[in-house]
């Protein structure tokens, strides 16, 4: 009997050790580390094409509901945003496509020094610099070189189509050497000893398809801007999240290589006007 008890105790210790080890690497088993549930989900629609309702929304004037783009509280993220009737009426077309596993990874619970990472989510806005199909083809191609691996969570085409690429609980490789300067100071996480620290571990990356006249021009500093459909679909997508306004940023703002300028000519006033039309906090909360 004594031998049996000792054997049983040994088995329990081994299982406990394995359970602890499995929680050391990624945030999948530790929801308190990365609140990926605060990111937008795939909000699938029945229709593949814009409905008459969504076209009416595009044509209508959106009433501005908030005067400032920085009204939401800082960390921790308060889960109080609710979507509106305007959100329900707008139904963008959507697609779901795969990304090669070499171009995305897991969200880490600890950095390379073993320290816990508890950054609240941010949204990083990008543009493709080429056609949407070109960007998707790149993401679907396997890349062994860590320096060129790249992806977004979601891409929005010129016609407003929302392309879901990577689930929000996964880590997209949308920004290399990057830091988010927010209300709580500078935030970044180093998860790869061979690469600079980045915001990828707590970022949700969304890209807008670049206007055709700037496709392939990596030196472009200016173009005609994005379509009305893109702004509506972007606001509709982000309205599903609990990421506050002051944690929505751009690739240019977080980049530390000083080489990224996207999204070019992005109209934040228009975006926040639409976002506040598609989601609002409860009455009494400003």
Q: What is the mean pLDDT of residues 8-20?
A: 36
Domain annotation covers residue 257: yes
Angle, in degrees to the nearest 10, between helices 228-239 and 52-59: 110
Flag the least confident range among 26-35, 99-108, 124-133, 140-149.
Answer: 26-35
Residue 3 has pLDDT above 80, yes or no: no
Question: Number of structural domains, the chain?
Answer: 2
Per-residue pLDDT tens for 113-143? 999 999 999 999 999 999 999 999 999 999 9
Q: Is the domain of 42 the same as that of 162?
A: yes
Angle, in degrees to the nearest 10, between helices 228-239 and 268-278: 50
pTM score, two decimals?
0.78
Domain annotation covers residue 285: no
If one counts every other C-beta atom within 10 angstroms of the C-beta of residue 117, the result is 19
Flag the least confident range among 166-170, 195-199, 250-254, 279-283.
Answer: 279-283
Per-residue pLDDT tens for 204-230? 999 999 999 999 777 778 888 999 999
Give one DSSP letter per residue of 148-180, joined into a string. T----SEEE-TT--EEE-S-TTEEE---SSB-E
Domain annotation covers residue 286: no
Q: Is the domain of 13 the same as that of 58?
A: no
Burial (0-12, 13-18, 19+ Cβ within 10 Å), 132 = buried
Mean pLDDT of the chain: 79
Length of the chain: 286
- Read off the tokens for 186: 């500078």
Residue that is written with structure tokens 């309702």 in the block: 53
Q: Is the domain of 206 the same as that of 180?
A: yes
Q: Is the domain of 25 the same as that of 85?
A: no
* φ and ψ of 117, to 5 deg: -115, 125
Q: Say what the pLDDT of residue 64 is.
A: 34
Q: Say what the pLDDT of residue 286 is.
A: 54
Residue that is written with structure tokens 């009305």 in the block: 228
Per-residue pLDDT tens for 53-81? 444 444 443 333 322 222 222 344 456 89
């Amino acid at each position: 009997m004594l031998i049996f008890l000792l054997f049983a105790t040994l088995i329990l210790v081994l299982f406990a050790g394995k359970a602890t080890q499995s929680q050391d690497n990624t945030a999948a088993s530790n929801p308190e580390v990365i609140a990926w549930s605060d990111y937008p989900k795939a909000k699938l629609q029945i229709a593949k094409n814009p409905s008459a309702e969504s076209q009416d929304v595009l044509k209508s004037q959106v009433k501005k509901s908030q005067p400032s783009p920085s009204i939401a509280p800082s960390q921790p993220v308060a889960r109080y945003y609710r979507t509106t009737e305007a959100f329900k009426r707008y139904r963008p077309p959507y697609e779901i496509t795969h990304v090669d596993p070499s171009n995305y990874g897991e969200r880490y619970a600890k950095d390379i020094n073993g320290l816990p990472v508890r950054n609240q989510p941010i949204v990083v806005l990008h543009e493709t610099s080429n056609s949407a199909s070109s960007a998707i083809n790149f993401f679907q191609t396997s890349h062994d070189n860590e320096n060129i691996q790249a992806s977004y969570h979601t891409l929005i085409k010129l016609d407003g189509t929302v392309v879901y690429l990577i689930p929000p609980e996964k880590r997209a490789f949308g920004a290399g050497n990057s830091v988010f300067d927010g209300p709580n100071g500078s935030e970044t996480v180093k998860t790869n000893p061979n690469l600079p620290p980045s915001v990828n571990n707590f970022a949700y990356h969304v890209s807008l398809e670049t206007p055709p006249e700037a496709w392939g021009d990596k030196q472009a500093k200016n173009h005609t801007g994005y379509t009305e459909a893109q702004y509506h679909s972007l606001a509709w997508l982000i309205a599903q999240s609990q990421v506050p306004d002051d944690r929505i940023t751009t690739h240019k703002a977080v980049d530390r290589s000083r080489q990224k300028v996207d999204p070019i000519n992005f109209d934040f006033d228009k975006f926040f006007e639409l976002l506040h039309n598609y989601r609002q906090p409860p009455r009494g909360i400003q």
